[in-house]
């Protein structure tokens, strides 16, 4: 008889994206990131036009500009991280929001665990969580590991599978997930993550792949029809209504 079996934690997991989800796109951090990534392409000897074109192409093809840069330009991801995310003046761009902290405090930890799931590298993710004073309310963080060659990211199935492994959860129907990127939501839905919410600040702008776009809940042309079970919210407070079962009873 084995005595080494670890106790199973059968609580559900609530996964929160970080950027443009835990703070508003109106902070324009995606714009500041986009400008730095553009400057990084230019520093490789590309013209502004070539830089814009490649930035968009890599973002579209690989989900992150950096993944194209490491594949085709022999870029050191840690150098990229220092010059892009690492140089953002986040402390003056985002602010602690006591109502967001309260939302996290009101989640019933006897029922669920709370994890962050980001396409950024760890230092940036931890910095944002610290500024928002949420670091002590997050049980775990799944991030893009720049030390791993050809690391994966949302919305690739491998990334969600890795996340579930790290959180030691095998049942996708016990996964709650909120993200501002509709493609990331669809990726999770495709794996059976049951309770997905699209955080969508309609009317605001965000930058993706070096291009500014209006935020909307429209899905990419040709996206498979798997919208069932996806709620759209404009504030995270709405999660109290959509997921009442994960909050403490008042
Ligand atoms: Mg995001």
Return the CATH number of the domain spanning residue range 30-87.
1.10.150.450
Centroid of ligand 1 to alpha carbon of 79 (angstroms):
22
The pTM (predicted TM-score) of the whole model is 0.93
Give pLDDT tens digits for 137-164: 999 999 999 999 899 999 999 999 999 9
CA–centroid distance, residue 24 to ligand 1 (Å): 10
- What pLDDT does 18 receive? 98
Q: What is the pLDDT of residue 223?
A: 60
CA of 184 to the centre of ligand 1 (A): 9
List of residues 6+ apart from 38 with CB closer than 8 A:
48, 51, 52, 55, 210
Whether residue 25 contacts residue 204, with contact meaning beta carbons closer than 8 Å, is answered with yes
User: Within 76-190, where are the H helices?
Assistant: 77-83, 90-93, 98-105, 122-131, 157-166, 182-190
Kindly indicate the confidence band of residue 227, based on its pLDDT and cuts at 50, 70 and 90: low
Q: Does pLDDT of 41 surpass 80?
A: yes
What does the domain layout of the chain look like in residue ranges? 12-27+94-246, 30-87
Percentage of residues in the chain having pLDDT higher than 70? 94
Residues 6+ apart with CB under 8 A from 206: 20, 25, 30, 31, 180, 212, 213, 215
Pick among 3.30.1360.30, 3.90.1260.10, 3.40.50.1000, 3.40.50.980: CATH of 12-27+94-246: 3.40.50.1000
Statement: residue 80 has pLDDT above 60? yes
How large a percentage of the chain has pLDDT more than 90? 89
- Secondary structure (DSSP) of 189-225: HHTT--EEEEE--TT-EEEETTEEEE--SPPPTT--S
Q: How far is the CA of 30 from the centre of ligand 1 (A)?
A: 9
Neighbours of ion ligand 1 (CB under 5 A): 17, 19-21, 180
Distance 192 CA to ligand 1 centre (A): 20
Band (34; pLDDT cuts 50, 70, 90): very high
C-alpha 7 to ligand 1 mean position (Å)? 33
Label residue 6 by pLDDT band (50, 70, 90): low
Chain mean pLDDT for the chain: 93
Is residue 1 very low, low, confident or very high in pLDDT (cuts 50, 70, 90)? very low
Q: CA–CA separation, 153 vs 169, rounded Å?
A: 19
Matching CATH topology for 12-27+94-246 and 30-87? Answer: no
Q: How far is the CA of 21 from the centre of ligand 1 (A)?
A: 5
Give residue 232 CA to ligand 1 midpoint distance, Å.
Answer: 14
């Amino acid at each position: 008889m084995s005595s080494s079996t670890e106790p199973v934690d059968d609580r559900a997991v609530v996964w929160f994206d970080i950027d443009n989800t835990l703070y508003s796109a109106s902070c324009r951090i995606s714009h500041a990131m986009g400008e730095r990534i553009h400057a990084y392409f230019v520093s490789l000897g590309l013209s502004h036009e070539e830089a814009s074109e490649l930035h968009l192409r890599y973002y579209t093809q690989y989900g992150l500009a950096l993944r194209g840069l490491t594949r085709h330009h022999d870029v050191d991801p840690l150098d990229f991280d220092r010059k892009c995310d690492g140089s953002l003046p986040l402390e003056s761009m985002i602010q602690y929001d006591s109502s967001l902290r309260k939302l996290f405090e009101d989640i019933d930890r006897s029922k669920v665990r709370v994890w962050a799931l980001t396409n950024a590298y760890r230092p940036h993710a931890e910095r944002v969580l610290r500024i928002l004073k949420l670091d002590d309310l997050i049980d775990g963080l799944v991030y893009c590991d720049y030390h791993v060659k050809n690391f994966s990211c949302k919305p690739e199935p491998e990334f969600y599978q890795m996340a579930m492994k790290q959180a030691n959860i095998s049942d996708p129907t016990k996964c709650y997930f909120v993200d501002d990127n509709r493609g990331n939501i669809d990726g999770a839905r495709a794996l059976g993550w049951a309770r997905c919410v699209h955080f969508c600040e309609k009317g605001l702008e965000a930058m993706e792949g070096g291009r500014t776009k209006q935020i909307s809940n429209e899905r990419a042309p040709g996206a498979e029809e798997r919208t069932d079970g996806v709620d759209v919210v404009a504030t995270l407070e709405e999660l109290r209504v959509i997921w009442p079962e994960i909050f403490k009873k008042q």
